[in-house]
Structures are given as C-alpha cells and as structure tokens.
Amino acid sequence: VEEDNWDYGIDVLLKALYLGPKNAIPHMTATGGGSIINLASVHSFLQEPGMLVYESAKAGVVGMTRQMATEFGPDGIRVNAIAPGHIVGEGLAKIWKDNPTGHEFFADQYPLRRTGIPDDIANGIAFLCSEEASFITGHTLAIDGGLSVQLQEKFGLRQANYVRNNPDTNLPT
C-alpha cells in the first residue's frame, strides 16, 4: 500500500468520524447529551486479503467508538457504532439485477441467507438513538445477517457446490 493511499483511506474512513463529533460534542454537552453513531463495517471484525487500509480504518472506528463512549459518557453522550454487512441499495440492486445467480450465491454466505437492505441499517440506528438503548454505549452493533458470527472455513466448499449446481453462474471455482 502506498503511503498516500494509506493517508487518504484513514482520512476518509476514520479521521472524518473523529472531526464530526469533535465539533458536535461541545454543543451536545451544553444541551445535556445525545447520541453519536459511527459507521464501522463487518470488515471491522473479518479480514480479507487486499483490504489493509479499509479494514484497519474500520477496526479503528470500533476502538474510537469505545474510547469516545468512555470519554464523553459523563457528559450524557452515548457513542455507538454500526457494522453493516452487504447492504443492497439502489446502486448494488442495479448490479445484482444483471447477475441474480451471483447475488443468490453472495446472499448464501449469510446465516439469514439474504443480504441487507437500507431499512435494516436505518432500524439499527434508530434503535441505538432511542430511549430503549439509553444504557447502551461503546457498542458496535453488527447489522450483518449473522455473517460475523459464522465460521467461514467451509465457504469454498459451498462455493464449489453452488457453481456445480448452477452451471450458468459466472462465479470462480
């Protein structure tokens, strides 16, 4: 990884999540507190080759969330994060529309056997901001259909079996 790529990735994926609260916390403290939700990723917990900058930054978001919860909890500020899995919004829906077999295979990685939708994320954020979550801080909520709790060592076998049973797929074997 080139140093300028590292710096750019850390700036966009981690530092930006520091700068927003840095400016908001004085106002939140003055008004009695509030809730900050940081955006982590399932990649905060699960690593993939070739993703050094992204996964390092997202793991940093988890650590920063915990530290901010410790620092600002006494001021009535709760700090949590969400860690989404694969969320299919408008852009990805267009991509998967042309490859439904690929999307089905991708969804099969998840214990719930589906990918997420934007409402899954919105509902998680709404909960963490609600009074029902008033005693939750420093937590990273995985909104990933169970991907982060599932051992992946047999994924290659499932992939090969899927391709064998779906010869029209363009997935690698």
Mean residue pLDDT of the chain comes to 91
- Least confident window among 20-34, 80-94, 149-163: 149-163
Q: Is residue 16 part of a domain?
A: yes
Tell whether 171 is covered by a domain: no
Return the pLDDT at 26.
97
pLDDT in tens, 100-115: 888 888 788 889 999 9
The amino acid at residue 64 is M
Burial code (b: 16+ CB inside 10 Å, e: under 16) for 48-86 equals eeeeebbbbbbbbbbebbbebbeebeeeebbbbbbbbbb
Residue of 44 and 162 predicted with greater confidence: 44
Annotated catalytic residues are 54, 58
Of all residues in the chain, the percent with pLDDT exceeding 70 is: 92
pLDDT of residue 154: 65
Q: Evaluate if pTM is beyond 0.75.
A: yes
Residue 80 counted as domain residue: yes
Q: Would you say residue 70 has pLDDT above 90? A: yes
Residue with tokens 């919004």: 89
Structure confidence at residue 163 as a pLDDT band (50, 70, 90)? confident
Residue 155 pLDDT > 80: no
Q: Does residue 96 fall inside a structural domain? A: yes
pLDDT at 173 over 60: no
- Tell how far CA 86 is from the center of its chain: 8
Beta bridge partners of 39: 82
DSSP state of 172: -
Give the residue with greater pLDDT, 106 vs 55: 55
Q: Is the Cβ–Cβ distance between 79 and 21 less than 8 Å?
A: yes
Residue 38 corresponds to which tokens in the numbers above?
A: 């940081």
Helices and strands in the chain: count of H runs, count of E runs? 7, 3
Position 173 in a domain: no
Q: Write the CATH number for 146.
A: 3.40.50.720
Closest alpha carbon to 123 in 165, 171, 159, 87 = 87
pLDDT of residue 172: 54
Express each pLDDT in 15-47 by its tens digit.
999 999 999 999 999 999 999 999 999 999 988
CA nearest to 86, candidates 111, 64, 106: 106
Task: Using DSSP, state whether 108 is helix, strand or coil.
Answer: coil
pLDDT at 101: 81
Domain that holds residue 42: 3-165
Is residue 169 predicted with pLDDT exceeding 70?
Answer: no
Helix (H, G, I), strand (E, B) or coil at 45: coil
Number of domains in the chain: 1
Three-class DSSP category at 111: coil
